[in-house]
Structures are given as structure tokens and as C-alpha cells.
A and B are shown apart, each in its own frame.
Chain A
Amino acid sequence: AAGVIQSPRHLIKEKRETATLKCYPIPRHDTVYWYQQGPGQDPQFLISFYEKMQSDKGSIPDRFSAQQFSDYHSELNMSSLELGDSALYFCASSSGQGGSWNTEAFFGQGTRLTVV
């Protein structure tokens, strides 16, 4: 069965550079969520989209932006990267059924971002 696809799997960037992370949800899933997970930390919610509109925002820095496109894939854009941005970034998707978390969310394998 198709899963959530994230690309790239690994990314190394220098400080102050920009990075774009991509997420391809499971077909027919209309809701996408982005999480940031530091080493040994719990996943921190960044932002979510439902039907291509931003639906909720968590602890996402102003340097980051995201959007969901017409084909439901989503991109997380990160600018002016800092060392502290090094983390595993997960995307998850679900069939929102009106947007509430009453359905299972499937996580992608994550993008490991290293800022040097």
C-alpha cells in the first residue's frame, strides 16, 4: 500500500541557507501535518493543512513557511537556517473527515536535516 513519501531523506545545509522539504501524502488523504523532532525529543507540531488551506499552526518559526498544493503534496520552506533547526522533520497525512483527529494519521519516514 502507498505510504507517505518525504524527500529528501537526508539534507545537509549551512547556516543561513534555505531548505525545502517535500511531502507526498497517501492518495485521497486531504490533511497534512508537519512535525519537528530533535534528538531524544518528542515530535513538535509545526503546521497543518486541510484541503489545501492552512488549518492550524504550532511552534513554527517565522523563518519557516509551508503550503499544500492542488495535488495535496506539501512543502515546508525553511530560510535563514540555524544550527538549532537540525532535526528530523516528519510529515503525516490522514483523511481528515472534517479535520478532526478521529482518524489514524500515517507518518512518513522523515527528512533528517543537518545544519552545519
Chain B
Amino acid sequence: QQPVQSPQAVILREGEDAVINCSSSKALYSVHWYRQKHGEAPVFLMILLKGGEQKGHDKISASFNEKKQQSSLYLTASQLSYSGTYFCGTEKSSGAGSYQLTFGKGTKLSVIP
């Protein structure tokens, strides 16, 4: 079951904030966030495991609400380097031994000067 991301695209000016959402209709074990620039490999940002945790990485943070089966990625004071397509990847709560990460359709973020 593919997670649903919103918005599909967003344009920001440098210094502005953005939120990208990821939701699933199935119970989740973990949520992963990646950023991909055009023609390049996806780059890992962070993993959130069930338990409603939040994580931060520089000015990028994320939350995971296990009950709502949702995760949100928060980008604050955006920089030009934040431009790219952000994917959330979800793993169903199938217990140990799950080897499949399903990505959402992506959110294209463009930061302009």
C-alpha cells in the first residue's frame, strides 16, 4: 500500500518554512524520509520508528504519529540546497523480517532566492 504524500509540489523563498505530510491507510512500523535531486540517488534524511517520536537533523525535523498513521517533515528557514523531491517510505508493521520499503509519489520542493 503506497503512502500518500502532500503537497505534490511546493515553491518556497529562501528562509521560509514548509511541511510535507505522509499518511498511510495501513498500520506502520516505521517511516523513512529521503531527498532526491534530479538524476541522483535518494539520500537518507531520517527514520522514525513507531512510538510517536520526533527527530531533527539541522533545520529539518520530522514527527511520526503512529495512531494516525501519519508522518510530517518540517523544513525551517529553507536553503537553496533543500530543493529536490522528498519521498517518504513506509514499512508496514509486519514485525521483524520486513524487507520492503514502499515510497510515496514524492513532494517536489523548489527553493528560490
Contacts and interface: CB of A to CB of B under 8 A. Distances in A.
A42 B100 contact: no
Interface residues of B, number: 28
Which of A42, A50, A56, A88: most chain B CB closer than 10 A? A42
A55 B96 CA distance: 12
B40 A109 contact: yes
A42 B103 CA distance: 7
Interface of A: 31, 33, 41-45, 48, 50, 55-56, 58, 88, 90, 96, 98-110
A43 B42 contact: yes
A56 B42 contact: no
Given A33-B99, A56-B99, A106 B105 contact: no
Interface string B77-100: 000000000010101000111111
Contact of A58 (B29, B39, B98, B100): B100
Contact of A48 (B30, B41, B44, B99): B99
A100 B103 contact: no
Contact of A90 (B42, B49, B89): B42
Interface string B13-39: 000000000000000011010100001
B55 to A, nearest CB: 12
Given A42-B103, A45-B100, A103 B47 contact: yes
Nearest to B89: A101
A103 B47 CA distance: 7
27 contacts: A42-B2, A42-B87, A42-B103, A42-B105, A42-B106, A43-B42, A43-B87, A48-B99, A48-B100, A50-B99, A88-B39, A90-B41, A96-B99, A98-B97, A99-B96, A100-B95, A100-B96, A100-B97, A100-B99, A101-B29, A101-B47, A101-B100, A101-B101, A102-B49, A105-B44, A107-B41, A110-B41
Contacts of B99: 31, 33, 48, 50, 55-56, 96, 99-101
